[in-house]
Amino acid sequence: MTDASDPSHPSDVKDAAQTPEPTPPASEAPRRAVRTIWGPPPELPASQAAPPMRKATASLLLLTVLVIATCGLVYELLASTLASFVLGDAVTQYSTVIGVYLSAMGLGAWLSRYVTGERVARTFVDVEIAVALVGGVSAPLLFFAFAHLSWFRLALYLVVLVIGALVGMEIPLLLRILKERFEFRDLVSRVLTIDYLGALVGSLAFPIFFVPKLGLVRTSLVIGGVNALVALSTTWLLRDALRTVAGLRVRAAAVLVLLAAGTFAADRLTLLAEEGLYADEIVFAKQTPYQRIVITRGKGSFQLFLSGNLQFSSADEYRYHEALVWPAISARAEAGLPTRDVLVLGGGDGLAVRELLRVPEMRAVTLVDLDPAMTQLARSMPLLRNQNENAFDDPRVHVESADAYVWLSEDANAGKRYDVIVADFPDPNHYALGKLYTTRIYHWMREHLADGGVLVVQSTSPLFARKSFWCIARTIESAGLAVAPYHALVPSFGEWGFVLARKGGLEPPRTLAPSTKLRRALDDAAMRALFVLGPDMQATPVEVNRLDNQVLVHYYEEEWRKYL
């Protein structure tokens, strides 16, 4: 325990006690400095005093109030909207963001009192530059944080706090700058009127113009640019009060250039042109060498799109993935075989893997996906991690980044055998994908099946693309496997199809294999019902899809054209 009267520090206590109150000159000097701006200071000759503010300058400063008020409100709306896009629950997001923002403005107003004397004008310009920078990059920064940080909310409120505090300083500082020009009564009335008017402009422009025309990222960058322009213009309006303006102008210009560059690069951040293609707001977009990954956020759910094609909606993907995985596992279980070693082809979102990890006896899941960016995202993005239950952190899961077609053909993988192979590829809407549905690849898959091994293939819609569906089934059959086609209703996709296949005979499974978690869509009866196809989904004559004819791509194009 430290003794307060430790003799080694006696003087500290004493000195502290003897420290005098702050001396008057420290608070006097700034007051004088303020006067040096707005009126002739007594100790300076009149010739050196700054002239009184011109009427035009005052009017322009009032116009500045209008502009910064508009900008301030837009930042607030941006943060609220962005938070409700990515997190859902708009009421909570708007309430908390506005609450934090307004209280941060209060904080800023309070902090403005520490700005004294001739630093007022300079600080105002500095605040504008800071608002321009932080507010300008706020939307891209928050989108980035959402995609890559697990503490997105903290980042959100931190950004809101900083912007709010900076914006909160603006009006008090401007009031002080303008106070010599107007009577107090007049000043408060004018400034606040214009401030509230600016809020109206911002709140109307945001939904009518900014969001629909520019989107969140560009709005943020453009509004930041406006603040930077305000900073630049005030270096001119307040040039008499600012001893030197070069440094401020350089900083303001640098921020302006940065934001302008960002605006031109915004296409790559959100690809504004594609926003119209999606029903919901894009919260993440990335162009990889293989595809374009887009995540959108609607009311209470989010969706993953690859090159414009919906891969899942968090609202109903469980129906798809339970139907994809459990019949295969159950077919094994009914034959008295455990499922310990599984190969997943495609499925980089990790949702099929999540289901497979619920098989009690599972030992190893190998996932082969083309795009390392996709599996990386599924591994790191909180939204996806939450959905796939951190599947990629499980030590039983092994990821290979390769084209499944090439991977299966490689000698190095020739000896590997699996109890179940899950082929969860995107639909065959392109020749590069068509090869993943050919007799050739099914021959390879067959070779990679262990004794009694089961293959399951996502096979597009048996209702919307009946020929495509049966073409996949027939192609699997022609590779020497018995097939059992089935379907499931996935509302966001519609009626969806799968093909279960095995060497030798294959009866649809009747009993659902045990899982470590409750199934939401399946029980014994529901699983049996999957194998009942109505008359409008029954087999239709089709050709077999071969590498050298790729008929499936043609069927698929022809059938989906009616719906897309």
Partner 1 sequence: MAGPSRRELLTTFLGASAALVACRKPSARPVGELLAPDFARAHRLIKDDAPFPREGVREERTRVAVVGGGPAGLSAAWRLRRGGLDRSEDVRVLELEATAGGTSRSGESPVTRYPWGAHYVPVPAPEARALIALLDELGVVEGRAPDGSPTIAEGVLCRAPEERLYYRGLWYEGLYLHAGASREDLAQLRRFRDEIGKWARFRDASGRRAFVAPLSAAAATRDAPALAALDALSMGAWMDARGLTSPRLRWLVDYGCRDDYGLSLADASAWAGIFYFAARLGEGGRSAPLMTWPEGNGRLVRHLATVAGERLRTGWLVRSVVARGEREVVVEGWDAAGAPVRLIAERAIVATPRFVARHLVPALRELSLGPAAAADESLAFDYGAWVVANAHLRDRPGARGCPFAWDNVLYESPSLGYVVATHQSGRDHGSTVWTWYYALTDPGREAREKLLSATREQWADVALADLGRAHAELSGMVERVDVFRWGHAMSRPRVGQRAALARRAPATPMGPIHFAHTDLSGLALFEEAHDHGVRAAEEALAAVGLVTPSVR
- Scan residues 337-396 and list those touching partner 1 (CB under 8 A): 370
Say which residues have a Cβ less than 8 Å from residue 222's Cβ, sequence separation at least 6: 210, 214, 259, 263
> Closest approach of Cβ 498 to partner 1, in Å?
24
Cβ nearer to partner 1, comparing 304 with 404:
404
Cβ nearer to partner 1, comparing 237 with 345:
345
> Closest approach of Cβ 438 to partner 1, in Å?
7
Cβ nearer to partner 1, comparing 316 with 403:
403
Task: Please identify, among the stretches 81-89, 379-387, 424-432, 532-540, the one whose residues bind partner 1 according to the rule CB under 8 A.
Answer: 424-432
Cβ nearer to partner 1, comparing 253 with 432:
432
Q: Which of 431, 480, 517, 524 binds partner 1 (CB under 8 A)?
A: 431
In the chain, the amino acid numbered 450 is A
H helices of 21-89, in order, are: 24-38, 55-87
Residue 93 phi, psi (nearest 5): -65, -45
Taking Cα atoms as reference points, which of 293, 287, 278, 135 lies closest to residue 216? 135
Residue tagged 């469980």 (tokens): 318
Distance CA 508, CA 501 (A): 10
Stretch 434-453: interaction string toward partner 1, x if CB under 8 A: xx--xxx-------------
561 binds partner 1 (CB under 8 A): no
Task: Please identify, among the stretches 32-40, 194-202, 374-382, 403-411, the one whose residues bind partner 1 according to the rule CB under 8 A.
Answer: 403-411
> Closest approach of Cβ 430 to partner 1, in Å?
6
Q: Given the residues 369, 371, 419, 424, select the one marked as catalytic.
A: 424
> Closest approach of Cβ 553 to partner 1, in Å?
8
> Closest approach of Cβ 275 to partner 1, in Å?
22
Residue tagged 């009031």 (tokens): 175
Q: Which of 17, 518, 548, 563 binds partner 1 (CB under 8 A)?
A: 548
Burial 54-67 (b: 16+ CB within 10 A, else e): eeebbeebbebbbb
Neighbours of 537 (CB within 10 A): 20
HEC profile of 220-277:
HHHHHHHHHHHHHHHHHHCCCCCCCCHHHHHHHHHHHHHHHHHHHHHHHHHCHHHHHH
Cβ nearer to partner 1, comparing 45 with 289:
289
Question: Coil, helix or strand for 331?
Answer: helix
536 binds partner 1 (CB under 8 A): no
Say which residues have a Cβ less than 8 Å from residue 154's Cβ, sequence separation at least 6: none
Cβ nearer to partner 1, comparing 205 with 421:
421
Dihedral angle computed from the Cα positions of residues 330, 324, 459 and 481, in that order, rounded to the nearest 10 degrees: -30
Tokens read off for 190? 């004018």
What are 421's strand-pairing partners? 343, 455
Taking Cα atoms as reference points, which of 34, 67, 57 lies closest to residue 167? 67
H-run or E-run covering 550: none
> Closest approach of Cβ 472 to partner 1, in Å?
16
Cβ nearer to partner 1, comparing 416 with 430:
430
Question: What single-letter DSSP state applies at residue 289?
Answer: S
Question: Coil, helix or strand for 365?
Answer: strand
Stretch 71-90: interaction string toward partner 1, x if CB under 8 A: --------------------
Give the binding-site size for partner 1 (rule: CB under 8 A): 20
Question: Coil, helix or strand for 532?
Answer: coil
Q: Which of 180, 334, 400, 403 binds partner 1 (CB under 8 A)?
A: 403
Neighbours of 515 (CB within 10 A): 17
Stretch 280-299: interaction string toward partner 1, x if CB under 8 A: ---------xx---------
> Closest approach of Cβ 105 to partner 1, in Å?
48
406 binds partner 1 (CB under 8 A): yes
Beta carbons of 348 and 383 less than 8 angstroms apart: no
Distance CA 194, CA 192 (A): 5
Task: Please identify, among the stretches 82-90, 249-257, 326-334, 544-552, the one whose residues bind partner 1 according to the rule CB under 8 A.
Answer: 544-552
Q: Note if 424 is an active site residue.
A: yes
Task: Please identify, among the stretches 17-25, 83-91, 309-317, 540-548, the one whose residues bind partner 1 according to the rule CB under 8 A.
Answer: 540-548
Q: Which of 38, 101, 320, 405 binds partner 1 (CB under 8 A)?
A: 405
Q: Which of 430, 482, 503, 528 binds partner 1 (CB under 8 A)?
A: 430
User: Which residues bind to partner 1, rule: CB under 8 A?
Assistant: 289-290, 370, 403, 405-406, 409, 430-432, 434-435, 438-440, 546-550
**Which residues does the annotation mark as catalytic?**
424
